[in-house]
């Protein structure tokens, strides 16, 4: 079996002392930011990206991946104990998790989240390992037209599954694509939109955008809301072990959550957040067993399913990135940046040209999930203490790490002004109710889309029908259209709005 050989190679890479250490650091940081409300994996990965310059590529990617899936574990702790989502992907965990904590059942809730996440993480990693090879085969059949259509599908998927206004999300993507155009055009050598500023001929640094919009924009917006009284259920975490009855309810929910999460993670635009929402909705649709607590009142299934789903989704969203080189969400867009920094062109060739990186990363995910269970269940007390740290101590630290992240890349004062400008823009986005994540995705995909469009049209001699006459490309575009139609149907539209308002 090839798969086993490959996994063996992967574990060989992942089990070196250095890589184990970086996997641990990633998981630790992920849990940390997961527990802390107000800072997400997106901002953290953006901050640490420059710091990974000095690391070997495998170690860097292992660490950054650990932050993403680690955050899915940490987020549930805050959701259950503080009634605040530590991470946007644990928004729905708050509903039943906090109720369980109020009934003195914080322990079983935490255990359900932790064990569910672990199971889902393992399954997600296996799916990633099993599907990567066949999908890579498929990717080699892709021509420029297919890539272009796939990106359209990915971008449409990203808006459909995003919260809020559809039109505004599409506009944000287009804005992102346009920002991606700034800089020297590779084909003609023309410096586009550089306004005669020499630094802009290299394009806008994507760390600058990520940090300004996600880091500073969020901090400013958090500070403008006044700190509300938090009620932390710390004393209540006694017995961690769920009862037999809990297990009976939990297991099918975890299985359903894992299946749904894995599927939604692969889809373009999917990822942890959407997976959690969908899994909770699904659980609510299934019948309550006799004597079971209703949803919203502390049902353990309402914790187990979304937590399993967000972890599975976090894991499988690496599939499109690693096989096709197309990021399905904003965090994966940052991973593209991380790979580019290390001179790795994301895409189907990664598996063949860098097998130790590819399989090492996958193997490290399984190890990381194991570390996370240990970090999150026996060591839960540590994280509870962290929750009592006031925000006025936290935000200067976050500002500092953002700043170090920006200036460690180059000591160019130009970046200072750029981050300042984008921080302001990010805050304006928040005030205007426009979600910035699609912008980042568009920004990463912009130059790629232009290039594939150019190549596709060059090959077809300017004939646009090439996108619908090639079957694979036509299929992808049809899927994108279908997504749009489905979302615009009145009945689904109402449900979609309901799903995002629900709390």
Tell the smallest beta-carbon distance from residue 82 to other proteins (Å).
Answer: 20
**Binding positions for other proteins, 448-487, rule CB under 8 A:** 449-450, 453-454, 457-458, 460-464
| Cβ distance to other proteins smaller for residue 88 or 460 | 460
| Cβ distance to other proteins smaller for residue 297 or 455 | 455
Task: With contacts defined by CB under 8 A, name the span among 31-39, 146-154, 424-432, 475-483 that binds other proteins.
Answer: 424-432
Residue linked to tokens 């302001």: 424
Tell the smallest beta-carbon distance from residue 207 to other proteins (Å).
Answer: 13
CA distances from 56 to 22, 172, 184, 226 (A): 11, 34, 29, 42
Kindly state whether residue 384 participates in binding other proteins, applying the rule CB under 8 A.
no
**How far is Cα 300 from Cα 76, in angstroms, rounded to an integer?**
13
Burial class (CB in 10 A: 0-12, 13-18, 19+), 388: exposed
| CB 9 within 8 Å of CB 355 | yes
Residue linked to tokens 């998927």: 157
> At 192, is the secondary structure helix, strand, or coil?
strand
Number of residues that bind other proteins (CB under 8 A): 68
**Binding positions for other proteins, 223-262, rule CB under 8 A:** 223-224, 226-227
Kindly state whether residue 187 participates in binding other proteins, applying the rule CB under 8 A.
yes
Kindly state whether residue 342 participates in binding other proteins, applying the rule CB under 8 A.
no
| Cβ distance to other proteins smaller for residue 244 or 461 | 461
**Binding positions for other proteins, 52-81, rule CB under 8 A:** 54-55
Task: With contacts defined by CB under 8 A, name the span among 120-128, 189-197, 310-318, 329-337 that binds other proteins.
Answer: 189-197
Tell the smallest beta-carbon distance from residue 503 to other proteins (Å).
Answer: 16
Residue among 9, 11, 15, 51 that touches other proteins (CB under 8 A)? 51
Would you list the DSSP string of 441-466?
HHHHHHHHHHHHHHHHHHHTTT-TTH
Kindly state whether residue 20 participates in binding other proteins, applying the rule CB under 8 A.
no
The token pair that represents 399 in the structure block: 């500002």
Residue linked to tokens 């997504």: 483
Q: What angle do CA 487, 325, 131 make, to 5 degrees?
A: 80
- The residues near 137 (Cβ < 8 Å, ≥ 6 apart) are none
| CB 305 within 8 Å of CB 281 | no
**How far is Cα 83 from Cα 88, in angstroms, rounded to an integer?**
13
Kindly state whether residue 175 participates in binding other proteins, applying the rule CB under 8 A.
yes
Say what angle helices 93-102 and 301-316 make with each other, to 10 degrees: 140
Residue among 190, 197, 481, 488 that touches other proteins (CB under 8 A)? 190
Kindly state whether residue 170 participates in binding other proteins, applying the rule CB under 8 A.
yes
**How far is Cα 157 from Cα 361, in angstroms, rounded to an integer?**
26
| Cβ distance to other proteins smaller for residue 55 or 263 | 55
Residues forming beta bridges with residue 183, ordered by sequence position:
192
| Cβ distance to other proteins smaller for residue 287 or 461 | 461
Tell the smallest beta-carbon distance from residue 465 to other proteins (Å).
Answer: 11
Phi, psi of 184 (to 5 degrees): -75, 130
| Cβ distance to other proteins smaller for residue 296 or 420 | 420
Kindly state whether residue 185 participates in binding other proteins, applying the rule CB under 8 A.
yes
> Which residues are near other proteins by CB under 8 A?
51, 54-55, 165, 167-168, 170-171, 174-175, 177-178, 181, 185, 187-188, 190, 192-193, 216, 219-221, 223-224, 226-227, 391-393, 395-397, 399-400, 402-404, 406-408, 411-413, 415-417, 419-420, 423-424, 427-428, 431-434, 449-450, 453-454, 457-458, 460-464
């Amino acid at each position: 079996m090839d798969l086993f050989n490959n996994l063996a190679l992967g574990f060989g890479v992942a089990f070196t002392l250095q890589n184990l250490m970086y996997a641990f650091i990633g998981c630790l940081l992920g849990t940390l930011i997961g527990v802390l409300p107000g800072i997400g994996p997106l901002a953290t990965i953006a901050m640490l990206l420059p710091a990974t310059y000095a690391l070997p590529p495998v170690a860097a990617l292992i660490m950054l991946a650990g932050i993403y899936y680690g955050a899915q574990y940490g987020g549930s702790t805050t959701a259950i104990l503080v009634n605040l989502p530590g991470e946007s992907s644990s928004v729905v965990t708050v509903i039943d998790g906090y109720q369980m904590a109020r009934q003195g059942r914080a322990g079983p809730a935490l255990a359900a989240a932790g064990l569910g996440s672990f199971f889902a993480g393992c399954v997600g990693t296996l799916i990633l390992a099993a599907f990567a090879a066949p999908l890579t085969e498929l990717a080699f059949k892709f021509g420029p037209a297919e890539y272009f259509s796939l990106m359209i599908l990915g971008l449409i998927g990203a808006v459909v599954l995003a919260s809020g206004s559809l039109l505004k999300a599409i506009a944000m993507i287009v804005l992102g694509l346009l920002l991606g155009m700034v800089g020297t055009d590779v084909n003609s050598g023309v410096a586009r939109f550089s306004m005669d500023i020499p630094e802009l001929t290299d394009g806008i640094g994507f760390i600058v955008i990520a940090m300004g919009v996600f880091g500073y924009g969020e901090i400013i917006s958090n500070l403008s809301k006044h700190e509300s009284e938090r009620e932390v259920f710390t004393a209540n975490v006694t017995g961690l072990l769920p009862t037999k009855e809990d297990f009976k309810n939990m297991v099918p929910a975890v299985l359903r959550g894992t299946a749904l999460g894995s599927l939604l993670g692969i889809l373009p635009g999917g990822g942890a957040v959407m997976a959690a929402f969908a899994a909770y909705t699904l659980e609510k649709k299934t019948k309550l067993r006799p004597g079971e607590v209703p949803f919203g009142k502390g049902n353990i299934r309402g914790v187990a399913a979304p937590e399993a789903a967000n972890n599975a989704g976090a894991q499988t969203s690496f599939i499109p990135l690693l096989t096709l080189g197309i990021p399905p969400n904003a965090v994966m867009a940052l991973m593209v940046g991380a790979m580019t920094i290390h001179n790795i062109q994301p895409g189907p060739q990664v598996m063949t040209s860098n097998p130790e990186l590819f399989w090492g990363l996958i193997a490290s995910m399984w190890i990381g999930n194991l570390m996370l269970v240990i970090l999150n269940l026996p060591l839960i007390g540590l994280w509870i203490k962290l929750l009592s740290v006031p925000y006025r101590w936290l935000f200067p630290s976050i500002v500092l790490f953002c700043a170090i992240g920006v200036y460690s890349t180059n000591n160019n004062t130009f970046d200072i002004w750029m981050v300042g400008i984008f921080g302001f823009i990010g805050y304006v986005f928040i005030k205007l109710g426009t979600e910035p994540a699609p912008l980042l995705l568009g920004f990463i995909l912009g130059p790629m889309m232009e290039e594939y469009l150019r190549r596709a049209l060059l090959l077809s001699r300017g004939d646009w029908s090439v996108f619908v006459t090639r079957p694979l490309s036509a299929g992808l575009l049809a899927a994108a259209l279908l997504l749009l139609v489905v979302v615009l149907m009145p009945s689904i539209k109402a449900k979609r709005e309901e799903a995002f308002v629900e709390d």
